[in-house]
């Protein structure tokens, strides 16, 4: 049982959302990664967030926080484009682009960033609250 | 002159200060290739020492984080370190406030008035 439990709960949220932002950064960095037609296209990264079991918390069921449980990969088929001049093009002039939507990725980035900020706000607020509790007996 | 509780608080302040230092070091080395995040444990040792009646005999044990590393062999997580800074700061504050209370009691018992 931690002495300041809220910090650990929001801390886990910070970590989960930072990992999500890492994945989105990966996706955006590879938005134009071209692959030969015979290979798999770059697959978008999806983070699976999971609530952490909190049976040993007080009270049980509260304050477990979250964690990034797994990474799932998107469509390997990608988007096939006709670019006959591309060095990777096959005889029909086809290459594979990743099947990702930049607008969608930016929206996810915004969501992850806002959630990160909210967890930071909780850390801030919890610190103020605990600080006041510490000073209850102060003169 | 310091009683058991005060010596326990003092040992706890030492441990927390060490943790604060190592956290600062971790944040400073967030981009250093091959750097493993440092950790400090002193609570178990302090609990044992208090049980044996001599908190000053407790030890501060540094060790390295076993978290997975990034491509450059570094495993510092800034968010974890920042939460650690806040928590250690609060615990330090709590210990300082407890020490202040002990001194207040001492001062009140020395003074005739009040």
Q: What would the pLDDT profile of B37-47 be if each residue is shown by its tens digit?
A: 999 999 999 99
Q: What would the pLDDT profile of B81-109 be if each residue is shown by its tens digit?
A: 999 999 999 999 999 999 999 999 888 88
**Do residues A2 and A8 lie in contact, with contact meaning Cβ atoms separated by under 8 Å?**
yes
**Do residues A19 and A135 lie in contact, with contact meaning Cβ atoms separated by under 8 Å?**
no
> What pLDDT score does A1 carry?
53
- Predicted complex: ipTM over 0.95: no
**Do residues B12 and B96 lie in contact, with contact meaning Cβ atoms separated by under 8 Å?**
no
Quick one: pLDDT band at residue A136, thresholds 50, 70, 90?
confident
Residues of A at the B interface, defined by Cβ within 8 angstroms: 3-4, 7-8, 10-11, 14-15, 18, 123, 127, 130-131, 134-135, 137-139
> What pLDDT score does B98 carry?
93
**Confidence (pTM):** 0.82
Q: What would the pLDDT profile of A45-55 be if each residue is shown by its tens digit?
A: 999 999 998 88
**Do residues B27 and B84 lie in contact, with contact meaning Cβ atoms separated by under 8 Å?**
no
**Using a CB-CB distance cutoff of 8 angstroms, which residues of chain B are in contact with residue A10?**
83
> What pLDDT score does A138 carry?
67
Strand, helix or coil at A80? strand
Is the pLDDT assigned to residue B114 strictly greater than 60?
A: no
CB atoms B101 and A137 under 8 Å: yes
Is the pLDDT assigned to residue B48 strictly greater than 90?
A: yes
């Amino acid at each position: 049982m931690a002495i300041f439990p809220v910090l650990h709960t929001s801390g886990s949220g910070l970590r989960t959302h930072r990992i999500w932002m890492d994945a989105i950064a990966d996706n955006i960095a590879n938005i134009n990664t071209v692959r030969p037609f015979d290979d798999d296209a770059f697959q978008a990264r999806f983070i699976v967030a999971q609530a952490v079991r909190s049976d040993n918390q007080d009270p049980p069921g509260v304050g477990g926080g979250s964690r990034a449980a797994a990474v799932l990969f998107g469509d390997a088929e990608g988007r096939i484009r006709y670019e006959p001049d591309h060095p990777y093009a096959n005889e029909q002039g086809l290459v594979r682009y990743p099947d990702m939507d930049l607008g969608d990725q930016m929206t996810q980035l915004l969501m992850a960033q806002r959630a990160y900020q909210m967890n930071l706000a909780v850390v801030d607020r919890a610190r103020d609250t605990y600080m006041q509790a510490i000073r209850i007996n102060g003169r | 002159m310091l009683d058991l509780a005060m010596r326990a608080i003092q040992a706890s302040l030492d441990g927390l200060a060490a943790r604060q230092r190592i956290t600062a070091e971790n944040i400073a080395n967030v981009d250093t290739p091959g750097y493993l995040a440092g950790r400090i444990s002193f609570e178990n040792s302090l609990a044992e020492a208090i049980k044996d009646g001599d908190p000053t005999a407790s030890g501060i044990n540094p060790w390295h984080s076993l978290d997975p590393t990034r491509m450059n062999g570094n495993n510092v997580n800034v968010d974890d370190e920042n939460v650690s800074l806040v928590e250690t700061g609060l615990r330090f504050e709590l210990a300082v406030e407890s020490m202040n209370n002990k001194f207040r009691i001492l001062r009140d018992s020395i003074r005739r008035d009040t």
